Amino acid sequence: MFEGLSGRLGDVLEKLRGKGSITQDDVNAAMREVRIALLEADVALPVVKDFVNTVKERAVGQEVIKSVTPGQMVIKIVHDALVEMLSGRIGSQVEDEEDDAEARKRDRVAESLNLNATPPVPILMVGLQGSGKTTTSAKIGLRLKSAMRKKVLMASLDVQRPAAQHQLAVLGEQTGVDTLPIIMGQQPVQIARRALDEGRKGGYDVVILDTAGRLAIDEELMEEVAEVRKVTNPAETLLVTDAMIGQDAVTVATEFNDKVGISGIVLTRVDGDARGGAALSMRAITGRPIKLMGVGEKMDALEEFQADRIAGRILG
């Protein structure tokens, strides 16, 4: 298994004990270990380099507070920088500190999504096959319905695998979220248009469009999804990726962002033991926010993205 960063840094940082401030040499030594930890967590190399440079600049010359060891301090600097990079927020303390009662009334999953458009608001789900698109579509549908009282319609545009359309219908029944009746032989763009039509006629607030995925990226898939996006003009285009995707995250996120255009990312299988480096790579490379994370197979296993939690896992 992986050795956590604190353990890894132990020897290096032991040397810093008793020093007043952190020097360039200390930081260089520590950053070699940080670099290895990030690479082991599957963060892409260019992202690791950028990150290490940012942290180096920040750490050199910092005074070591008496109450903590230099090691703890470097780890805190690294952790904070990771949280910032993952969340796009400056300073890990910027979490809004509202009182609990207020926070409980709100639903952070639903609030992570942009629904600012004329209803029916289209949400497009894209990603590779098996990434968790269909499951996440139903989870989002259920959450919008239960937490925000939205009337939601879901439609599967997967014409390659009839089983996929059926799978969404089953999840729809399970969650009590409506699904578009299946008409065999229609093409994705036609189904998308029919879903929006039905959405308008039926007074739906949101229409979730679950697109087909392939096992690997291919041109045909990208063109198909791009076409659907053009026709439906979604308020959100969410790239769903499995946290276990590893180094492929870079290609997948770049391709979908460049060829289709995405507005946010959903990381699934965060309940598994992936270190989550894919999240950092995707965020850094696309600049798009990671909005949600899937934490299980059950329909309520969907949470707002927590940069803190993923940062902790990346560092091990």
Pick out the residues of the known binding site for GTP: 127-134, 210-214, 268-271
- The neighbour count for residue 79, using CB atoms within 10 Å, is 18
- Residues 84 and 92: beta-carbon distance below 8 Å: yes
Number of chain residues interacting with ligand GDP (CB under 6 A):
17
Cβ-based neighbours of 295, under 8 Å, separated by 6 or more:
270, 271, 301, 302, 303
Site for ligand GDP in 124-183 (CB under 6 A): 127, 129-135
Q: What share of the chain is helix, strand, coil (3-state, %, to 5)?
A: 55, 15, 35
Residue nearest to ligand GDP (CB): 294
Q: Select 250 or 302, whichever has its Cβ closest to ligand GDP.
A: 302
By the rule CB under 6 A, 294 interacts with ligand GDP: yes
CA–CA gap between residue 40 and residue 242 (Å, rounded): 17
DSSP letter (8 states) at residue 294? E
Binding residue for ligand GDP, selected from 84, 271, 303, 308, defined by CB under 6 A: 271
By the rule CB under 6 A, 269 interacts with ligand GDP: yes
**Stretch of 4-12, 221-229, 280-288, 290-298 lying at the interface with ligand GDP (CB under 6 A):** 290-298
By the rule CB under 6 A, 291 interacts with ligand GDP: no
In the complex, the smallest distance separating the C-beta of residue 64 from ligand GDP, rounded to whole angstroms, is 40
Mask of contacts with ligand GDP, 98-127, x by CB under 6 A?
-----------------------------x
CA–CA gap between residue 129 and residue 150 (Å, rounded): 28
Binding residue for ligand GDP, selected from 213, 264, 276, 277, defined by CB under 6 A: 213
Q: Select 239 or 250, whichever has its Cβ closest to ligand GDP.
A: 239
By the rule CB under 6 A, 211 interacts with ligand GDP: no
- Residues 55 and 77: beta-carbon distance below 8 Å: yes
CA–CA gap between residue 169 and residue 229 (Å, rounded): 22
DSSP string of 26-76, one letter each residue: HHHHHHHHHHHHHHHTT--HHHHHHHHHHHHHHHTTPBPPTTS-HHHHHHH
Binding residue for ligand GDP, selected from 25, 50, 173, 297, defined by CB under 6 A: 297
Binding site for ligand GDP (CB under 6 A): 127, 129-135, 213, 268-269, 271, 294-297, 301
